[in-house]
Structure 1
Amino acid sequence: MTDMLIRAALAAREKAYAPYSRFHVGAALRCDDAIYSGCNVENAAYPQGSCAEAGAISAMVLAGGRQIDEIVIVGSGEAACTPCGGCRQRLREFSASDMRVIMVDTKGVILLETTLEALLPWSFGPENLA
């Protein structure tokens, strides 16, 4: 399933709209064995754009999904493209702390594999409001 996520993230990256930064990002997540993808969409009026992870999460929620099992992210550089702070919190809303977060290069080679807990320690989530 991870290979399918990688392919989906790479395909999503190809659709990114990044005329200003030229930094194209794609993301694909798995929820209940379904794959949802997103790409970054920039806007001339910063910061009105949206991140690839946010797009994938929106697609999942629209389809009725509520639990992310793993996510793959691909950026434009040679370094691992980790989720921004806001996306780390967005991911936290819909996943367990041990969710796999995989960053790949533009050829699909895994650069970094970690957990949401490692990216967002001591996080605040829905259960904190119960």
Structure 2
Amino acid sequence: MSDIKESLIEAAHAAAKEAYAPYSNYQVGAALFFDDGAIITGTNVENASYGLTLCAETVAVARAFGEGRRGGLTAVAVVGPKDKGDGAPITPCGRCRQTLNEIAGLGGTDPVIYCVGNDEVREVTLSKLLPHAFGPDHLA
């Protein structure tokens, strides 16, 4: 496993431990890797009004934007709890795919997404997860 991949997965697991998931008890962590070596993490934040819940990837992207990052996204790791579900790799939901596309598009990158499961890490590019994505160019 590459050093970047390993570091991202470790950072995502650490973030997942800080999840606020009292309703689903499904802790998710995400870690974003940028071309300058920075790693930005996020965790899911649930809300009693379920529609207001934030996914880990969305929180990480918001943190990255809050730090002034506009592009440069090269890799993402997403992890869930090892004791929930069937242990298969988890992938970003549709909303998170679109959120990741926004920041990736600003830098013209197609980041690899490490979808982590109990026994497997699935590697897929964002463009494969979100083909024919809607982006800023559609608004011009």
| Cα deviation, residue 47, structure 1 | 1.0
Give the equivalent residue in structure 1 for 2:127.
117
Q: Which runs of 5+ in 2 are unaligned?
A: none
Of the candidates 14, 19, 22, which is equivalent to residue 16 of structure 1?
19
- 1: distance between equivalents of 2:67 and 2:133? 26
In 1, distance between residues paired with 2:67 and 2:32?
13
1:74 aligns with 2:84: no
Gaps of 5+ in 1: none
Q: Distance in 2 between matches of 1:99 and 1:65?
A: 15
Shift of 1:71: 0.3
Distance 1:33 1:110 in 2: 25
Number of equivalences: 128
What's the offset of the Cα at 1:127? 2.3
What is the CA distance between 1:89 and its match in structure 2? 0.4
Residue 100 of structure 1: how far off its partner (Å): 0.3
Select 1:39's aligned residue among 40, 43, 52.
43
Alpha-carbon distance between aligned partners in 2 of 1:110 and 1:70, rounded to the nearest angstrom: 17
Q: Does 1:83 align with 2:92?
A: yes
C-alpha distance in 2 between matches for 1:121 and 1:75: 24
Greater helix content:
2
Tell me the distance in 1 between the aligned counterparts of 2:132 and 2:42.
27
Partner of residue 126, structure 1: 136
Structure 1 residue 113: Cα displacement: 0.6
Q: Please state whether the residue corresponding to 2:50 is helix, strand or coil.
A: coil
Cα distance between partner residues in 2 of 1:60 and 1:121:
23
Runs (4 or more) in structure 1 with deviation over 3 Å come to: none
CA deviation string 1:82-123 (max 9, x = no partner): 1111111001101146310111136xx642110111111111
C-alpha contact 1:97 1:117 (8 A) present in aligned 2: no
**RMSD between aligned residues:** 1.5
